[in-house]
Amino acid sequence: MIEYCIANYLIEEGRITNEQFGELLNKQDAARVKLGLIAVSEGLITKAQADEINRLQMTRDARFGDIAVDLGYLREDQITMLLRMQGSSYHAFLQVLTDEGIIKLEEADEIMKKVRLKEGLSTADIDAIKEGVVERILPIYMQDIPQPMIDLAGVLLRTIVRIADRHAFIEKAEIYSSYELKYAEVQEFGGETGKFVTAYEDVHGGLVLLASAFAKEAFKHVDEDSLDAVGEFENIVNGLYCSKLSKSDINFDLEPQHTVESGTVTGVVCVLPVRIRNKKFNFIVCDKI
């Protein structure tokens, strides 16, 4: 996630292009090591236990480490150690930047200072982004946004990272009283205590990337097929959010997702830009129609 902040700075400085950023992310991916793999290779858990955790991860909106602790397979301090061993994506991205000769390792601290000032972040914010802790990152970019919308964005971001693309990040969310949708994939859901409308709208190619990563199919345009994949992803995210609510005995029903070629949502409308690879889409959530 921190790679987006660093890339924003390097692009502005003319040291890399947005195109190049996409390639750098691919290179970073090649160096990916999974927590489960490290835990197994260190002899802390068995392969079968790792598989079980991975399976649970698909249906619970929770992290590998949290589930492992829940099941009593790993202790908190072991998780901390594993995360350290895994190497943060900050270090992985730094590695790629230095390997490619884009920056020198000695420059890293100075660059991070400039990134922090440019983005208007505190050192604590930077640490949260470096560690990729979604719960701490959301409040940085979603100030003055109603809590249920932040929670929903949290489910979205974690789900993208888990099943579509681990390179995902957000930009500052804005609130509107009315927002015009263009070619968006929309779903309504709610119950007695409230009603939400979510919409996924392309900015420049991000929605196509999301659809392709989720459906494992190479879509080229925002069209009926790629929007169908986005709709199913949206359905899953909203379902996971409803599942969290049902633990507090709130029962929300999902309506079928559908494409809106043009339309307006009014009420409290939160627009959250989501970065995926070197592209972007808007996640829109509205608390009434």
# binding residues, other proteins (CB under 8 A): 34
* 255 interacts with other proteins by CB under 8 A: yes
Segment near other proteins (CB under 8 A); pick from 79-87, 124-132, 250-258, 264-272: 250-258
Question: Can residue 192 be called a binding residue for other proteins (CB under 8 A)?
Answer: no
Does residue number 163 form part of the binding site for other proteins (CB under 8 A)? yes
3-state secondary structure of 267: strand
Interface positions, 26-65, toward other proteins (CB under 8 A) = 54-55, 58-59
The neighbouring-strand residues paired with 175 are 270
- Any contact of residue 251 with other proteins (CB under 8 A)? yes
Query: Segment contacting other proteins (CB under 8 A): 28-36, 80-88, 227-235, 271-279?
Result: 227-235
Q: Where are the alpha helices (DSSP H) in the chain?
A: 2-12, 18-30, 35-41, 47-59, 64-70, 76-86, 89-99, 108-119, 123-131, 134-141, 147-159, 206-215, 224-246
Q: How far apart are CA 235 and CA 254, in angstroms?
A: 8
Write the CA distances from 143 to 147, 149, 150, 227, 258, integer angstroms: 10, 11, 9, 29, 30
> Which SS3 state, helix, strand or coil, does residue 228 take?
helix
Site string for other proteins, 197-216 (x = CB under 8 A): --------------x--xx-
Q: Does 253 bind other proteins (CB under 8 A)?
A: yes
Residue 242 touches other proteins, criterion: CB under 8 A: yes
Candidates 8, 238, 278, 282: give the one binding other proteins (CB under 8 A): 238
Which residues have C-beta within 8 Å of that of residue 239, sequence separation ≥ 6? 254
Q: Footprint of other proteins on this chain (CB under 8 A)?
A: 54-55, 58-59, 159, 163, 211, 214-215, 217, 225, 228-229, 231-232, 235-236, 238-246, 251-258
